[in-house]
Structure 1
């Protein structure tokens, strides 16, 4: 974990270790202080999230309010909202590097 903050539900992360290295995803659950469940709505659906050690993730400062609100209201989030949150993050990251 490179940024000194603790992970939050709805936060966008970049996978730094494993098969999906370099891929962005959204934290959808935090079972304990060492692991989180991530999904991107595309390869990793909400119904089959990936359990990741937070040491293998790079936390970003971006938290998707849409995802947070949806999880608080219904306990679920659509894969479309996850894809939208990830796409918005990728787009803003590309704009910042240009």
Structure 2
């Protein structure tokens, strides 16, 4: 079974299964069986995608812009999510 601590708020994850296979998301919440993912475009913070943990591949990295929002106590927005994904994909 997966350890819940490995899934942190703000981490990037690829979808490994489903119609969105290969799409990059940001984890905003995790429980024992599911993670809740957002991309800032189709899946926004107000309505995240619920996906089984076994159907994602996490990237042990939190983008700088999201990490700075978390550390400063500022609320992470859909724009921050979109920007972080775009910057990561350009690397």
- State the TM-score, normalizing by the size of structure 2: 0.81
Equivalenced residues, count: 86
Tell whether the 8 Å contact from 1:10 to 1:65 is kept in structure 2 after alignment. no
Tell whether the 8 Å contact from 1:12 to 1:89 is kept in structure 2 after alignment. no
Moved over 4 A (4+): none
Question: Which runs of no fewer than 5 residues in structure 2 stay unpaired?
Answer: none
Question: Which runs of no fewer than 5 residues in structure 1 stay unpaired?
Answer: 93-98
Superposition CA RMSD, Å = 1.9
How big is the shift at 1:33?
Answer: 2.4
Corresponding position: 1:23 with 2:23: yes
How big is the shift at 1:57?
Answer: 0.2
